[in-house]
Each structure stands twice: as C-alpha cells, then as structure tokens.
Amino acid sequence: MQKIIKKTSFFKRNLNYIFAFFWLSMGFAFYLNSDSGRYLVSTLYGISGILYAWLAYKQKDRNTEYIAWDEEKLIVARLHQKPKAYYFNPEVNIHLSNYNLIIKAPRATGDMVELKGFTGEDLDLLREKFANPAVA
C-alpha cells in the first residue's frame, strides 16, 4: 500500500495533550492558591484536564493526515478523525486537480482533500495513479 503523509505542525498534532497540560496545571494552581470557594473550580479544571488526557490517549493513532491506496481502495485520514476508505468501482469518481483531490461517491459520501502540505514527490506519486490521461 502506498501512502503519502501531510506535514502537520507540533501544535496541531498535540492539541489534546496541550489542553490536558493547561487544564491540569490551572487546576493545580487554583488548588494551591485557593480559599474555600476555589476548591470547586480547581476540581472542575482538574476534571477537564483528565478528560483531555483521556481524549489524547484515545486518539493517539489519529495524529497524522495521510492518503493511502492500493489496487482496490483509497484511504483518506484527516487529523483527529477516523480514516475513510473508498473502494474503486464504477460509482466512485476520483478527480485530481492542482489543489484538491476530489472523491465523488454515491449517497453523498464523497470527500475533498486539500493537497497543500504534501511534498512534491508525494504529489507526483498521487498524479501517477489518479491523473486523468490526456485525450488526443
């Protein structure tokens, strides 16, 4: 299976970890500097941090954007989302433009992927497979 991976920044890849650290540190700071009314706030911040840490753990393998394909299907994975698979058949139409990969599938299940962020070599691999041949 061939796979091209989009470059993503550190903050986009680790957004849930950053939020978990932020909310846990805010909860800890409020707990240390709290009088009687701030215990509730520090507890809620701590719970928010724990929930973000759990979410980051659950989505640890969804931190990359990629397009993968073989002879029978095309897989599109977006950042922090479940990958979608499209099987090659006459009902699925794949169009490659300069800026987008457009997948038209039945029952409005298609997708459009922006190609900004992929390297030139990766885009050449994609064009070899999905570019429409010129009609002479």
Phi, psi (deg, nearest 5) at residue 82: -70, 135
Q: How many CA atoms lie within 13 A of 21 on its CB side?
A: 6
pLDDT for 20-50, tens place per residue? 999 999 999 888 886 766 788 889 999 999 9
Q: Which residues pair with 96 in a beta bridge?
A: 101
pTM for this prediction: 0.75
Class of residue 40 by CB neighbours under 10 A (exposed 0-12, middle 13-18, buried 19+): exposed
- Round the average pLDDT of the chain to a whole number and report it: 87
Question: Which pLDDT does position 131 carry in this prediction?
Answer: 74
